[in-house]
Structure 1
Amino acid sequence: MSTSSDVTFKTLSARGGFKIGLVSLTRAKSMNALTREMIQAIGRRLARWQQSKRIVAVVIQGEGRCFCSGGDIRQLYDGIADGDETGLKQADQFFELEYKTNIQLHRFTKPLIAWGHGYVMGGGLGLFLTANHRIGTTSMQLAWPEVRIGLFPDVLGSWYLSRIEPALGYWMGLTGMPINSTDALSQRLIDYQMADGDLEPLIGQLRRLDWTERTPDNQLLVRHLLGNWSTPAAADKPESDWLRTGATITEMMVPVIQQGLVALPAADADQDAWVQRGLHQHHAGCPATARLLVAQLALGRHMSLVEAARLELVMAWQACRHPDLVAGIRALLIDRGALPQWQHATPASVPDQWVKALMTSPWKRDEHPFANL
């Protein structure tokens, strides 16, 4: 076993002399929030395991109560709060590394099994969703909560949120509300639903599979194992929030989807509690993020995953140089409980030029850091 920057790497013996790689996020006290060093270590190790003939599959999981609550926004804040060039450059490097690693995982050809329990949010989604076998447990809470801090639904939110039920995609981005594994499965954001206690038995079964040197055969082995795994009992599966509230939310999202008009109503005491919570979060969230989401999803639905990464790197670069992100993180982490001082009062008051600026690339097309990906 080796350890690097709050993430550990192990290889487990498997049948036929092969090995299974195990990646564990170990910042349990920080809900496994990702640092620059963790992302870098994961990318390097997966590059090695991709080339190894002995490694036939990889499992990635988080220790403690959740898979990953997101990126380490305190580390990000420390870099951009003063607006100095050194800090901004470090933030740029963080986002560039994060997106490169997302693409690397997306292109990983061997079985890559992500175990999503508890919070699977923000930066953690970049590790989870790009795996080719995504397992959500009965405790999963999957979300893009960036509206709360004045960022945008990143780590390829442009791509994923624009490919699920449209009203739900906009709802998740505008409110930061999480969905459970039942809804994530229905939206194909996960591939399998399991019980929280199934990880160790699953790893045991993986070690006993009849592995070969052929990656396509190994993918079929894993798909067959996971597809035939006993799903949680009906009583243990979380109730679908979307099935219960979808009609209400869809009605709210019609003006957003058809006209780009973000004017969600205030929460009503007679509404479903899940809807009330989402509306409260939306109205407390960043108005510019709400406006930006509409443009983001409109573009994302027509992009490849790599094109979405290029777009979001531009948006991340700009977000670090616009005041809402600093204000949002400060309110959340520094002035705990304080209301963020957003630059605009409502989404309707955000000028079109502000949205355009947040999506304007600082690079010429052939100079974009991902131009050759």
Structure 2
Amino acid sequence: MSDAIVVSCLPCEGGLQIGVLTLNRPSSLNAINQSMIDCLYEQLLAWKQDERVVCIMLKGEGDKAFCAGGDVRQLFTALRKDVKAGQQEAEQFFSHEYRLDYLIHTYPKPIVVWGHGIVMGGGLGLMVGGSHRVVTETTRMAMPEMAIGLYPDVGGSWFLNRMPEKTGLFCGLTGCALNAGDALYAGLADRFLQHSMLQEVLDAMRLSTWQKESEANHAIVSKILRRFAKAAEPLIPESNLQQHKQQIQRLMDHDTLAEIYHDWLHYDTTDHWLEKAIKGFLQGCPTTAYLVWEQIKRGRHLSLSEVFQMELTLSVQCCLHGDLVEGVRSRLVDKDNNPKWRYASVLDIPKEWVETHFESLWPADQHPLSSLV
């Protein structure tokens, strides 16, 4: 077990229990590493088979973050030291992370994810699959991979495709910041509650009369959250995505990424939120922009398991192609914020370069996630 995951159980009537999993790295904004991923997976599997456990609560320690994402600096160190060893570490990290995300998506028992504070990257991967996803007044959500040369993974090919209009593609290309209102509008969350209500929610869950049937227990959780959400409703912030719906539709109304680039390069706005989003695209990794474009297109009709299989290939290939290592160096390690990308602009990128990122590294029957069904 990892010290960075606190496992506890709340006793309920009739010897039943609520399992509580707390990400416990507040100084690192609860960023998840390999040992945390494995701990969460093993515990969820154990509770899946334990008839006493009727519901799961997944939350983060501290007031600043649920989870700021995956700890990619560890991968950076491994890849810089030895590319072959780094590739093996990348395969292990991403395959374990995606297996965990898939388990959360398909879990039979209710999983309440308390998405307060920062919810980014791998944190969003943990959250979106939960049956009951809560955001609060402090929620700040994003898939900011454009900045580091990765792409919106952890099922992004699935959930970005299910956002209204083309807001999913817009969020992937810009890494724009989302508030709780955005998360509700985009279908990334189900309920808005005040962060101060957490203990009250846990108490209400503990005092509930739980059933043997999972479907009935899902309804119990829904009723509890609905009651608290009614009181918090006046505090829901306005959705930037919804407010900028017409502008986003106009910005995304192009057939190619090159057309988007030309349009956005000369787009004149005094709107701070929109300006920052466009800047995120123009200053981000050009290769990532194409990967986002392609993952949305290719992932549109894939099953959830096929999405994670495609993304594992894409993520490991990103580790081998160089831009991710350079992006992590520039943004997170040296912090000079001056990455030297392989290609300077989306206009310079050959189609063949993009295609190599989607080439599988394993025979079909040996894919590390071939067992996902």
Give the structure-2-normalised TM-score. Answer: 0.95
| Distance of 1:201 and 1:161 partners within structure 2 | 32
Match of 1:243 in 2: 242
- Equivalences for 1:48-67 in 2 at 5 Å? 48-64=46-62, 65-67=64-66
1:161-220: per-residue Cα shift (whole Å, max 9, x none)?
A: 011123211111011112111121122111111111111100000001111222221112
Helix, strand or coil: the match of 1:185? helix
**Stretch of structure 1 that moved more, 154-163 or 176-185:** 176-185
Give the structure-1-normalised TM-score. Answer: 0.95
Provide the aligned C-alpha RMSD in A: 1.6
Helix, strand or coil: the match of 1:102? helix
Match of 1:345 in 2: 344
1:284-305: per-residue Cα shift (whole Å, max 9, x none)?
A: 1100000111110011111111
| Distance of 1:348 and 1:15 partners within structure 2 | 63
Helix, strand or coil: the match of 1:265? helix
**Stretch of structure 1 that moved more, 359-368 or 48-57:** 359-368
Letter in 1 for 2:48: Q
Distance change (3 Å), C-alpha of 1:368 and 1:323 = same
Paired residues of 1:195 and 1:232 also in contact (CA < 8 A): no
- Equivalences for 1:15-30 in 2 at 5 Å? 15-30=13-28
Match of 1:282 in 2: 281
TM-superposed CA distance for 1:269, in Å, is 6.7
Choose the corresponding residue for 1:36, options 15, 31, 34.
34
Paired residues of 2:157 and 2:296 also in contact (CA < 8 A): yes
1:327-359: per-residue Cα shift (whole Å, max 9, x none)?
A: 000001222133100011111211100110011
Paired residues of 2:193 and 2:232 also in contact (CA < 8 A): no
| Distance of 1:16 and 1:284 partners within structure 2 | 57
| Distance of 2:275 and 2:85 partners within structure 1 | 42
Helix, strand or coil: the match of 2:177? coil
**Stretch of structure 1 that moved more, 228-237 or 40-49:** 228-237
Match of 2:293 in 1: 294
| Distance of 2:125 and 2:283 partners within structure 1 | 25
Helix, strand or coil: the match of 1:60? strand
Count of residue correspondences: 369
Which runs of no fewer than 5 residues in structure 2 stay unpaired? Answer: none
Which runs of no fewer than 5 residues in structure 1 stay unpaired? Answer: none
**Stretch of structure 1 that moved more, 60-69 or 363-372:** 363-372
Matched, 1:9 2:4: no
| Distance of 1:84 and 1:45 partners within structure 2 | 32
Letter in 1 for 2:23: L
Distance change (3 Å), C-alpha of 1:267 and 1:141 = farther
**Stretch of structure 1 that moved more, 149-158 or 72-81:** 72-81
Match of 1:138 in 2: 137
Match of 1:117 in 2: 116
| Distance of 1:168 and 1:32 partners within structure 2 | 27
